Amino acid sequence: MTTEMILSICLGIGLSASSGFRVFVPLFGMSLASYFGILPLSENWAWLGSTTAIVILAVASIAESLSYLVPFVDNLLDTIAVPMAGLAGTVVMAGSLTDLSPAMTWALAIVAGGGTATAIKATSATTRAVSTATTAGVANPAIGLAETGTAVGLSALAIFAPIIAGVVAVIGVVIFIWLMMKLKRAKSS
């Protein structure tokens, strides 16, 4: 396995983890990084660095992030965001992988990218549901703001320091899975 391959896998895992917090933020980060020549994308993904993609993803990122600040709207968004996060995680992982066969690219994208994003989104949705039940949604805007900040920070880290982002994402997924199991046990008690 080459250094470039390891970097692209770590980049994909970091961006996929970010997709678990906000669906559009990592795609927007990838789009900006490609536009400014920071992140080279394959020919199949070159469209992501276009001005049109940047504008669309910027609007989507802002709208999504602001919507998560509204209690009860955030819970509604979570119902559609869990599958969308898995899809976004798959897309950012596939877009970041270089020099792999299509079969290997999509296998990694679906399992590592989609799986990471879905695990994080499911955990954050569970956390928000518990917050809504226990605080009547009062704490939800703070959770939403923290998630948006994490999505922005993790996306930037993935683009500029992919190995660190990959490690942070893997540790984060383990912590989120542990937290989800703990919340489910507490909820069923």
Percent with pLDDT over 90 in the chain: 66
Q: What is the mean pLDDT of the chain?
A: 91
For residue range 39-64, list pLDDT tens digits in order.
Answer: 988 788 889 999 999 999 999 999 99
pLDDT value of position 173: 80
- 153's tokens: 């920070």
**Model confidence pLDDT, tens digit, residues 96-123:** 887 788 899 999 999 999 999 998 898 8
Q: What is the pLDDT of residue 29?
A: 96
Instruction: Using pLDDT thresholds of 50, 70 and 90, give the confidence band for residue 169.
Output: confident
Spans of all domains in the chain: 3-188
Q: Token match 């940047």: residue? A: 54
**Computed over its alpha carbons, how large is the radius of gyration of the chain?**
16
> In angstroms, rounded to a whole number, what is the distance separating the alpha carbons of residues 148 and 131?
17
